[in-house]
Amino acid sequence: MQLILESLFNGVAIGSVLLIAALGLAIVFGLMGVINLAHGELMMLGAYSTYITQLIFKLPILMPFYNAYVIVAIAVAFLVSGVVGILLERSVIRRLYGNPLETLLATWGVSLILQQFVRSVPLAYGAGLIIALLLGLLLPIVLSKEFISNRYDRFIKLGSWSIATLIGVLTASGLSSSISKIGRASARNVDVTAPSWMRGGIDLWGITFPVTRLVIIVITLISVLSVTWFLNRSVWGIRIRAVTQNRSMSDCLGISTETVDILTFGIGSGLAGVAGVAVSLLGSVGPNVGGSYIVGCFMVVVLGGVGNLIGTVIASFSIGILTDLIGAGRLLTIWPDMPGPLASTVDFFATTSMARVLIFALIVIFLQFRPAGLFPQKGRMVEA
């Protein structure tokens, strides 16, 4: 009993990391059909955002609230990755809709640019740049609602971009002078230290549940629920689903497809940022952290059935539980007197990386028989 519970918990913990990482991709790749290889780098940006937020909360003024920095970091990471994602959609991906191969190459290029960016630009300047972009994009929208007349449109844009640049530069210099760690460029990995309440574990039924893992499970749960609600219940959700299913007709009905594209891509990228927060709590953060997750993300989305959120959820939890069963050699614990050759095979795969190899091989074999994944789209419109 205890064994099953422990295995289940570990599986769910591994699965929820996979799920939170794949959730954004399920929207960008699954719904919009965009192969975004820079998704992992958007996660990396989220992880670095967590690191910077944590350092800012170590400043004397904010020190009393240090324990709450993870919650702030989630919002910050969502915004940072979302803005970068929107920029990426506007500048690169929008011109390549309908050309999957070119999209793949272009986004791979973007992922390399982003990796090099965090290596060779001081993080403080990066933060300043992001803040400038965020303000520059948001201010005209907020301000144009205040001043209805379009005559001043150009001035509002110009003014808000200059204000945004100013604030960005001020933030960059302020951050680099007050926190020396991020004032210089560095390619080395950094570590996010969890606040004290997240260290240690909770003991229940003779098992220790690490709090970090529980927090990640909760973050994942909240993200999945809010995405489900957003897509199925909100007005924008109906619009997003309409545009992804029939773009030209949605346009003819009066839906601005461009706005929907921006929003969908922004949310998908923002979720990558949230995943970055989770990743930063698990290990050290470096420029390459995204690369180690991106393959798993695509595997989860394809296995679950492209365009199917529930499929993604089930796929990631089953991969998680399988990883724990194989990787921790639990089969041997359950059945200790296994015949020799079988036991040595199980033992051979009983490491994290070998478990990954075996599971990916199993997925490849599975997809040979069910190419559309676990939950393919059904109905009379599929063939059309």
Partner 1 sequence: MTLLETHNINTYYGESHILRDIDLSVQHGEMVCLIGRNGVGKTTFLKSLIGLLEPRSGDIYLEGNSLNRMQPHQRARAGIGYVPQGREIIPYLTVEENLLLGMEALKGGLTAHRKIDSFIFDIFPVLRKFLARKGGDLSGGQQQQLAIARALLGSPKLLLLDEPTEGIQPNIVQDIESAVRRIINEKGIGVLLVEQHLHFVRQADRYYAMQRGGIVATGRTSDLSQVVVDKFLSV
Interaction site with partner 1 (CB under 8 A): 235, 238-239, 241-242, 245-246, 248-257, 377, 379-381, 384
* Nearest distance from C-beta of residue 227 to partner 1, angstroms: 17
DSSP for 70-86 reads: HHHHHHHHHHHHHHHHH
CB 274, CB 216: distance < 8 Å = no
Report the residue number, 63 or 382, with the smaller CB distance to partner 1: 382
Report the residue number, 58 or 241, with the smaller CB distance to partner 1: 241
Report the residue number, 244 or 316, with the smaller CB distance to partner 1: 244
* Nearest distance from C-beta of residue 154 to partner 1, angstroms: 20
* Nearest distance from C-beta of residue 260 to partner 1, angstroms: 10
Question: Helix 309-327 to helix 352-369 angle, to the nearest 10 degrees?
Answer: 140
* Nearest distance from C-beta of residue 224 to partner 1, angstroms: 20
* Nearest distance from C-beta of residue 236 to partner 1, angstroms: 9
Q: How many CB atoms lie within 10 A of CB 367?
A: 14
Tokens representing residue 304 in the block: 């679950």
Report the residue number, 33 or 329, with the smaller CB distance to partner 1: 33
Report the residue number, 254 or 336, with the smaller CB distance to partner 1: 254
Task: Give the C-alpha separation, 228 to 307, whole Å.
Answer: 13
Amino acid (one-letter) located at 16: S
Task: Give the C-alpha separation, 338 to 331, whole Å.
Answer: 9
Extract long-range pairs of 164-167: CB within 8 Å, 24+ residues apart: 164/131, 164/132, 164/133, 164/134, 164/135, 164/136, 164/139, 165/132, 165/136, 167/131, 167/132, 167/135
* Nearest distance from C-beta of residue 77 to partner 1, angstroms: 28
Task: Give the C-alpha separation, 254 to 257, whole Å.
Answer: 9
Report the residue number, 16 or 250, with the smaller CB distance to partner 1: 250
CB 374, CB 311: distance < 8 Å = yes
* Nearest distance from C-beta of residue 308 to partner 1, angstroms: 11
Report the residue number, 196 or 248, with the smaller CB distance to partner 1: 248
Element holding 337 (H helix, E strand):
none
